[in-house]
Each structure stands twice: as structure tokens, then as C-alpha cells.
Amino acid sequence: MNVNQSAPPVPPFGQNQPIYPGYHQSSYGGQPGPAAPVTPYGAYNGPVPGYQQAPPQGVPRAPPSSGAPPASAAQVPCGQTTYGQFGQGDIQNGPSSTAQMQRVPGSQQFGPPLAPVVSQPAVLQPYGPPPTSTQVTAQLAGMQISGAVAQAPPPSGLGYGPPTSLASASGNFPNSGPYGSYPQSQAPPLSQAQGHPGVQPPLRSAPPLASSFTSPASGGPRMPSVTGPLPPGQGFGSLPVNQANHVSSPPAHALPPGTQMTGPPVPPPPPMHSPQQPGYQLQQNGSFGPARGPQPNYESPYPGAPTFGSQPGPPQPLPPKRLDPDAIPSPQLNELPPQQKTRHRIDPDAIPSPIQVIEDDRNNRGSEPFVTGVRGQVPPLVTTNFLVKDQGNASPRYIRCTSYNIPCTSDMAKQAQVPLAAVIKPLARLPPEEASPYVVDHGESGPLRCNRCKAYMCPLMTFIEGGRRFQCSFCSCINDVPPQYFQHLDHTGKRVDAYDRPELSLGSYEFLATVDYCKNNKFPSPPAFIFMIDVSYNAIRTGLVRLLCEELKSLLDYLPREGGAEESAIRVGFVTYNKVLHFYNVKSSLAQPQMMVVSDVADMFVPLLDGFLVNVSESRAVITSLLDQIPEMFADTRETETVFAPVIQAGMEALKAAECAGKLFLFHTSLPIAEAPGKLKNRDDRKLINTDKEKTLFQPQTGTYQTLAKECVAQGCCVDLFLFPNQYVDVATLSVVPQLTGGSVYKYACFQVENDQERFLSDLRRDVQKVVGFDAVMRVRTSTGIRAVDFFGAFYMSNTTDVELAGLDGDKTVTVEFKHDDRLNEESGALLQCALLYTSCAGQRRLRIHNLALNCCTQLADLYRNCETDTLINYMAKFAYRAVLSSPVKTVRDTLITQCAQILACYRKNCASPSSAGQLILPECMKLLPVYLNCVLKSDVLQPGAEVTTDDRAYVRQLVSSMDVAETNVFFYPRLLPLTKSPLDSTTEPPAVRASEERLSSGDIYLLENGLNLFVWVGASVQQGVVQSLFNVPSFSQITSGLSVLPVLDNPLSKKVRGLIDSLRAQRMRYMKLIVVKQEDKLEMLFKHFLVEDKSLSGGASYVDFLCHMHKEIRQLLS
């Protein structure tokens, strides 16, 4: 079929799964499958980040009023013990071992009284057609108590109290009443189903179009005022709350009319909180579907947890004081002022779960190949393993978009605030089952292009006049087809040779470039690698130099090579340095290497040409001799000072003299304080954090390095930097050249050979062996109506259109943002073409082309139905991480929150079915936007903890700037895998659990990874047999905390865990060093930093709190 024609709807590849009530499993392209009801909401995929760089216009948010400062790590209200690992039962996901406190289930209805209903034991119910939008409803009791004591100040615990203090939008939520309560005059909405009041939907009925999470809105019936003492067992009017994990309910006589019960009657719970303040009504396990019976393995709150939302009964002895799961201090009842005696807690199982969404996508879309022939299809998530069949659009491994359906007008785009961006990974490595792009050679005439806009021939072009001319689909210009390229058309208007030519049938392919595409109109020489080794005292003392020289002897055999070449065409050179530079002549005719010293670092030159860059196989003996001698030559050095800029200058001059592109591998240990260009001083100042001057910590301290980087890019000299600091080295400045040349930075703080050898050598091997494109230029062309306006990543730009990369490898992405410059047409859609011109490892000049066609829409619902949350978060993180260079961090965080609120408020206003203002309604494919955005807001760059160094923040900031979507996904929301739950003979990865301390059980072992770090957390009550099998010690107490390698043991558990660790490391671009963490150990604080659904020590909100805050922001915008 002609790709320019709009494609007919295709049947969905994955059938709807009745696993998760309330989640719509979409078909491809957002077209509903045959069974799904036609609704205005869309395909699952993911949220989309902000659209404009200035803080978006909208209803201004209330400024933060003065409140208590965020609780720091150590602050615990007087009289409370710190929150023990899990409360008393030590089992999070199973039944509690001690007496349980009960919660009242049942959705409160205000209709005619119904006989109490007792739910059956938990069974998964079949549900009807899934809804397409997610709503979270928090039912807050808005009841008035006559004769109540006057309003007292809020307690230090986080209560949903009166709005004494509005949360600052930056995500630092003060501990005193951060969200405020919803107005007391408003009464709660009727029910979670949008049905008739008083009608409880039966469990087996189809879920409502949108299930919900409601705060009280005006318009519902009000509960009567209460005067005098309350009858026993009846509280101040909190509504019974549906809780999947807890089977409980108060005695029948205590229920107001219309309440339904979902459990056998049991005695009332002790009075934890008087429900005078509003509480949140909850739904089941991460979905917002209809009420479900109790779930298996989720029987009770763990002991010590306040049973929010339940009705208090007669007083009983208070439980031991503990902190809440999300580490929010919650004062006991008798410590609270009368007006503040409630804290209703949202059940984490009732809000959208990243784990569930990932699992559903794997089940629905992992089995079928993703065929790229249909325009505007949303691909499976990055967490799903799937095969791609290229049929005219680039694979999602090369390009992912924030939305696959672009608004037709700029007004619509501004209204939705969904940023239109593409994350492009031009040289992405493909799995072995997928073919690399075909290389097309058009001879001396070179690739065929449009005469006007210079777009390259692709499947999107239309041939006319019998094949003699073609119309460019990007600019509509009509071009002649050269005689040698002519071919007849078939009856559909397609060339008869279309399937024989990659450029007419595939989304991605390569052209061999002609001499016109080369510098100075001559073909390039093969590139060179120069190894530049710091031989100052620090580098020698740690054993780094000896380790590196040993490794290079064998590593030089594995330089990247083209296709079937027997040996690499890359030449190598060696430099050592401290305060001066030493160049080595390793010409094959020499018996021994020769050293030449350049001490004039202010005016750097290369003292030799012949013999500096050599072929490895020809000069093997001399190179081996040199690598043996270097550690001995400098073994007794006492020189501690180093230079840095002159080293890069020397490498670039050497490449310039050899007239080739290449890469410098720099191994550097300390702040360059020696007298030389680029000399730096220690400017680390933690006092600048949270001030307007904080941005200076991320900016380079001198302009020398930008100038140097510009010269490197012009020469095609890419720099990879390996840092081994023992203290501050100013990563923000040292990383400027790697960042602007398309290189990488690796950092090994406090390097010790015995601990860090494996990680360093693994990173070095991968870095030296990976395929790189040198001296590259990338341009993104678009069809009329949109244009590329902004770029994020590791590259240099000397104009507004060309992305210049001295080097580009298969891990790096370039993120491009688009804006409208005209109206788009629904029929023709929007087209992107990414063209990358580069020199291959063998010195061949090539053009790699990626094409992608997107749909256009006139309805906002179509935009929200075709978004991709993971790509959106990737863009938002990069946008924020670049913004910290020029704006205060708090402003950056406020901008992100405002943008997210505007995206969700626009959906609520224009796409969702009418419902109470107290309901939080999230688009199906953006329901994870709040949890992921909260992870970005709490990251070290935007909200550092006390232990995070300035160098760490600068390192992560530049690292994220060129990450792909899969990497940012796991970096911001780490994977937590239970190791002892799945059968030993299972070959698949164990199913992940949510990144929260509540999910940890002290009887289990968990593995956590985020792409850079790898932890094994061991619970204190793990069985001795498991400890013996994994660690080869008889008991928990004998496990070494901080262990970085598991013993190699011949038993199924040990093999399985080590195999899992190896497979995770193989998936990631950096080697993840293992750290074993024991429960209640000092290292556990580091581990908990990655449990991103919980409140962080640096003041970041928990997921539940952030969702409430987001809800409040959306309501402010809507009102």
C-alpha cells in the first residue's frame, strides 16, 4: 500500500486482558479494537512533558505561605521512635503476624438503605470492557461538628488539615498541612461509580467509564451536623473506605443508611484518628477500577499503621509509636489539637502502579512483532521486549516521540501544553534478530534529494507523471527523476522496483556519501585513538596506571572494525602527563619506544608526527614494551599537580597533523591546579544550594573549555573522560569538552583497584570497542507546518539547524523539540527525516537516514490517546537539567509541576466526561506521569540530599542529557526484584515490585537496579538456608555489609542470582557495581534513597502526597 495514503485500521496485536480493571488496553494507533466501546479516550502509552520553556501561562498558583520547614532526616517528633523497618509484623505483602487493626471497607452511598452485603473471599472477577480514562477519587468527609473547639494550629505531622500552609510547588512539601483540606462546606460526591446515587455497582459489572479518587465537591448531600456525644462506635463522620488489602468493617449498627459492607462484622478498631478532617477514599491495587474483594496476600495493614478512614470505636491502649510508611511523622491522638485529629491515608495500592502498567504492556504487546507500516502507531513501552519489522517508518529503537498524533494547530498545542518532541538515537544497536540498515550505493551521482528542501529520497515521496518526476512530501516541490533512477509505476502509482530499493520501502537505511560530502572535498583517513594517561602521584599510588597499562596490552586487539575486516583500520597513539606532557614514538622499526617531553604547556605542540599514530599489529612489540615501562618509569613520582586543557589541545593537534578524526581517552585524577591554560580552583560551596547562585555550581568556571571544545568539533576530535577523584575535581568544568564533542564521562570516586577494577575495566572495554561515527553532522527535516526548534544532548551547534558531533556512539541520543509554524493537515500528517552524515570506523563517509510519519488531529482526545509517558519524562528531565544552568532550581521544579498540572487539567477540562471537581482524572496513557515526574523532581540534580556532592550532581546532569528513553525510565524509577519469590528453575526475570519500603519483607532478598547502581538488600529474617546458598555464611549476622561480589557457589539459587545480575548488567550502558545491603545497616540509607515512591530524606514528597498536590494544582487551574 502507498504509505502516503491513510492506512486502514488494523486489528490490535494484543488482545485486551481482563487483568486490571480500569486500564484500557488499546489497539495500535489508538484505534479501538472490535470489543472495546467507542470512547473519547485513548491508547495506553505514556505522558508527555512540558511545551514551552518559559513557565507556561495559566491560572497563577497561590504562593507558598509560611509553613514549617521540611522535616530533615533526623527530625522525629518528640516521643516517637523512628520508623522501624516495617512496623511490627515484618511482612509487608502477606498477612500480619500480630493482631490487626481494622479498616472499614465499602463505598459510601447516600441512597435508600440496603441490606448489608458480605463480599466473597478474594477472587479475580472478570470485568467488562475496560474504561479508557483513569480517575482517582478521594472521598473526604466534609462534615461539620457543632460546638467544636476553635481551630488550633496544625501539628507537625503531615495531615490533610485546613489550608494553613500551601505546599510550595517545587515539591518541597512542608510538614504542616501540606495540601490543606478541601473546604468544609463541600460535601463528598455520591459514589465512585458515576451511577445513580444509592446504587452500589455489583462486583461483576463492567467498570464505570472512569473510576475515581474524590475530594468533596459541592453538590452532594451533606451529612447532618452532630451535637452532643456520639453513639458508641460511630466516629465524626468519616466515610467507610474501600480497601483491597484489609477485610474489615464496623458493627452493622454503626453504619449510616446506605452503607454496604464487604467483610464479616468485626469489633471496631481503636481510635487512631478522629475523622473530623477529610480522608481519601481508595481503590484497589493500583487501578482505579470498580470495588474489588480483598486480594490474596494483602490481608491486613501492617501492625502499627494508622487505619485511616475507619470509624473509631471505644478507646483502647495506644499502639507503640512509629513513623508512617512514607516516613511522615504523624502525631498520636492525644498530642493533637481537637480540630486536627485525623490523618486519612491513601492506600498506595489504589493509585496507578508503574509495575502493573509495564506488566500489562508486556503481556499485551510483547508477543507480536511491531510492524512500522502504519502511520502514527504508538510503539510498545521501552520496558517490553518486542521485535520490529521495518515497513517504511523508523524503528522505535531509533526514534521515539512524546506523541504520535500531533495537534493540527499551534493553539491546540499551547492549550494542551504537551511538548512535541522526538528522542533520536541514530546509531542505536539492534538485537541480533533485526537486520542493520542496508547500505545503498548510488555511485558518483550520490543519493537522490529534493532540489528545494534537500530531503533525501524515502518511502514518503510520491512519484508522478509515469515515474518521470517525484513530489517531495516535505516541501511539496516537484523534482525530475534522473534517467539512471527512472522506473515505471504500477497501477497503484508505486514504482515497480519499490521493494528492491531500501530507500523506497524502509524507514531506516544508509547511503554511501560521495566526495562532495567530505571535508575539503577529499575522502577521510581512518580515525585514530589516543590514550592520554595521568601519571601524577595519585594515579600511581592507587595502582590505576599499572592496571590500565596491563589492560591496554590485550584491549588493543579489540578496536572497532568494519563488517568482515580482519583487523581494525584505527591507528593508536600514547601520551602520559602530570605538569608536563610526554609523547611516545612507537614506530615499528624501533627496538624500544622513545619519549619526548613538552614542558611548555602554555603553547602546546606535537613534537613528532612519524611514529606517534601507528597500526597496532605492525608496532605490537614496541607498544607492549612501552606499556610495560610506563608504570616503572613513574613509580617513584612525587608530582601531585596536573594540567588538563593542554592535554586535550595536544591530542587535537596530533589528529589535525595526521589529517584524521578520532577519539581521545583521558584518564585523569585531580583538579588541574598547575599553571597552564584551563587551570581551575576549588569552588565547591554547599552554602549555595537552594539559593539563586546555585546555578553557578553547574556552569563551567572558565570559558577556555568551550573554546577548546569548538576547535575539537571542527577537527572531529571526540573526548572520553575517565575520572578517578578523591575529592572535588569540578566535573561541571571538566565535562564541557566531552559533552560538546559527543563524548562520555565516567567517574570512579575514591578508586581502589580491589573494589573498582571490574567496573572500570568493563566500562573501558565497552567504550573502546563500541562502534562510533566520527566527524558527524545531523539535521532533522520536517514537513511543512512544524519545525525543529530546540535540541538536547551531547553535541555542539554553530547554527540553528545542524547538530555537530565530533563523535557519536550507539548509546547517545539527541532530543529534538518541534513547534508549529503553520497549520497541519489531518490527511497528510506530519513527517520527520533525520539525516546523519558521519565517518565510519573504517574511514568511509556515510549518510544514515531515519524517516517517521505521524498523525495529526483536530481533537485533543486524539493527542492524549497517543502519547508516550516514558518519552515525555525523558524530554522533561532533559529540559529541567539544562534549565538549572540558567535558573534557580526551585524555579525549574515549579515550571515542571505547573506544566504537568496544565497537561492534566486540559485533559480533564476538554476530554474527560463530566464529574465531580473532587475527582482526579488522568488520561489512560498518562496515568504514570505524576509518579515519574515526582521521581525527576526528587532526583539529585533538582533536590540533593546532604550526602550528594556537587560533582555527583554535575556528573548526573551531563549523563542524563544524552540518555535514551529506556535508560531514563529505569534511572528515575528503579527496578526492585524479589529474588526468593520465583521458582529456582524459572529462566525469566522475577516480577518486579513497586519501589517503596512498604513492599519489602524482612524474610526476603531483593535486587534493585537503576542503570548505574545495583543493590542486593537482605532482610533480617531471611532463612538460614537461603543465606548459606547465596553468601556461603551460616547466618544473617555474618554477611559482610557492603560486599561487592557474590561468592561463586554451585547451587541453583546462587547460579540464578548471579545469572540475573549478569543479564541486567548486559542490558545497561554502564557496568553496575554491586553493593550488598543488610536490613537496619548504615548502608540502608543509601539503598532507601532509590525507593522513589516514599518520602525522601532531602524533602521530596512521597508518590501519594505528590498525587494529592498535583490534584490540588489541577483544581486551582480548573477553578
Is 72 a residue whose pLDDT tops 90? no
Q: Percent of the chain, pLDDT > 90?
A: 65
Amino acid identity of residue 86, one-letter, is F
Tell me the mean pLDDT in the region 173-191: 36
Tell me the mean pLDDT in the region 101-120: 35
Measured in degrees and rounded to the nearest 5, phi and psi for residue 446 equal 75, 180
Which grid cell sits at 663?
A: 577519539
Query: CA–CA distance from 626 to each of 159, 395, 630, 632, 669 (Å)?
Result: 68, 46, 6, 10, 21
Q: Are 831 and 853 in contact (CB under 8 A)?
A: yes
Residue 483 pLDDT: 94
Query: CA–CA distance from 521 to each of 184, 681, 779, 839, 845 (Å)?
Result: 76, 44, 20, 14, 12
Question: Exposure pattern of 786-822 as b/e (b: 16+ CB <10 Å)?
Answer: bbbebbbbbbbeeeeebbbbbbbbbbbbbbbbbbbee
Residue 27 pLDDT: 39
Which residue reads 507558598 in cell numbers? 64
Residue 661 pLDDT: 96
Q: Are 527 and 663 in contact (CB under 8 A)?
A: yes
Which grid cell sits at 459?
A: 518511502
Residue 347 pLDDT: 83
β pairing state of 581-585 and 571-577:
antiparallel
Which grid cell sits at 930?
A: 505524576
* Spatial distance between the Cα atoms of 634 and 549, rounded to a whole number of angstroms: 13
Cβ-based neighbours of 636, under 8 Å, separated by 6 or more? none
Q: Are 396 and 379 in contact (CB under 8 A)?
A: yes
Tell me the mean pLDDT in the region 960-967: 97
Measured in degrees and rounded to the nearest 5, phi and psi for residue 830 equal -125, 135
Q: What is the three-class DSSP state of 739?
A: helix
Nearest to 842 by CA among 515, 486, 459, 559: 559
Q: What is the three-class DSSP state of 783?
A: coil
Query: Alpha helix locations (H) across 469-613?
Result: 502-505, 537-541, 544-555
Query: Alpha helix locations (H) across 498-536?
Result: 502-505
Which grid cell sits at 372?
A: 512500522
* Spatial distance between the Cα atoms of 1096 and 729, rounded to a whole number of angstroms: 27
Q: Are 877 and 972 in contact (CB under 8 A)?
A: yes
Tell me the mean pLDDT in the region 1006-1025: 96
Residue 439 pLDDT: 96
Q: What is the three-class DSSP state of 550?
A: helix
pLDDT in tens, 824-845: 999 999 999 999 999 999 999 9
Residue 536 pLDDT: 97
Is 109 a residue whose pLDDT tops 90? no
Residue 984 pLDDT: 82
Angle, helices 704-715/645-657, rounded to nearest 10 degrees: 20
Is 211 a residue whose pLDDT tops 50? no
Residue 344 pLDDT: 55
* Spatial distance between the Cα atoms of 523 and 660, rounded to a whole number of angstroms: 10
Is 925 a residue whose pLDDT tops 70? yes
Measured in degrees and rounded to the nearest 5, phi and psi for residue 700 equal -65, 145
Q: Are 787 and 818 in contact (CB under 8 A)?
A: yes
Position 421 confidence tier, pLDDT thresholds 50, 70, 90: very high
Is 144 a residue whose pLDDT tops 60? no
Is 156 a residue whose pLDDT tops 70? no
* Spatial distance between the Cα atoms of 1117 and 899, rounded to a whole number of angstroms: 11
Which grid cell sits at 338?
A: 481537637
Is 302 a residue whose pLDDT tops 90? no
How many CA atoms are closer than 13 Å to the CA of 848, on its beta-carbon side? 22
Residue 703 pLDDT: 95
Residue 8 pLDDT: 43
How many CB atoms neighbour CB 991 within 10 A? 13
β pairing state of 420-424 and 210-213:
unpaired
Q: What is the torsional sign of CA 133, 874, 1010, 988?
A: positive
Residue 988 pLDDT: 83
* Spatial distance between the Cα atoms of 1008 and 1074, rounded to a whole number of angstroms: 10
β-partners of residue 668 are 723
Which residue reads 510520491 in cell numbers? 462
* Spatial distance between the Cα atoms of 627 and 481, rounded to a whole number of angstroms: 57
Cβ-based neighbours of 870, under 8 Å, separated by 6 or more? 46, 381, 382, 383, 400, 932, 965, 966, 968, 969
Which residue reads 546532604 in cell numbers? 946
Which class for 447: exposed (0-12), middle (13-18), buried (19 or more C-beta within 10 A)? buried
| Region at 563 (left for phi over 0; alpha for psi -120 to 50; beta for the rest) | left
Query: CA–CA distance from 507 to each of 366, 832, 840 (Å)?
Result: 21, 11, 21
Is 30 a residue whose pLDDT tops 50? no
Tell me the mean pLDDT in the region 538-547: 96
Position 565 confidence tier, pLDDT thresholds 50, 70, 90: confident
Which grid cell sits at 271?
A: 481510635
Number of H helices, E strands in the chain: 21, 31
Between 128 and 1066, the higher pLDDT residue: 1066
Tell me the mean pLDDT in the region 550-562: 94
* Spatial distance between the Cα atoms of 523 and 569, rounded to a whole number of angstroms: 15
Is 682 a residue whose pLDDT tops 80? yes
Is 1069 a residue whose pLDDT tops 70? yes
Is 206 a residue whose pLDDT tops 90? no
Cβ-based neighbours of 66, under 8 Å, separated by 6 or more? 165
Q: Are 848 and 426 in contact (CB under 8 A)?
A: yes
Tell me the mean pLDDT in the region 802-806: 97
Lowest-confidence segment of 144-148, 396-400, 989-993, 1028-1032 by average pLDDT = 144-148
Is 391 a residue whose pLDDT tops 50? yes
| Region at 653 (left for phi over 0; alpha for psi -120 to 50; beta for the rest) | alpha
Q: Percent of the chain, pLDDT > 70?
A: 69
Between 84 and 1, the higher pLDDT residue: 1
Measured in degrees and rounded to the nearest 5, phi and psi for residue 1034 equal -75, -25
SS3 content of the chain, % helix, strand, coil (to 5): 25, 15, 60
Q: How many residues does the chain have?
A: 1119
Residue 173 pLDDT: 41
Nearest to 512 by CA among 428, 427, 438: 438
Tell me the mean pLDDT in the region 693-720: 96
- What is the pLDDT of the chain when averaged over all its residues? 77
* Spatial distance between the Cα atoms of 868 and 875, rounded to a whole number of angstroms: 11
Which class for 590: exposed (0-12), middle (13-18), buried (19 or more C-beta within 10 A)? middle
Q: What is the three-class DSSP state of 761?
A: helix
pLDDT in tens, 216-246: 333 343 443 434 444 444 433 333 333 333 3
pLDDT in tens, 574-624: 999 999 999 999 999 999 999 999 999 999 999 998 999 999 999 999 999
Is 979 a residue whose pLDDT tops 80? yes
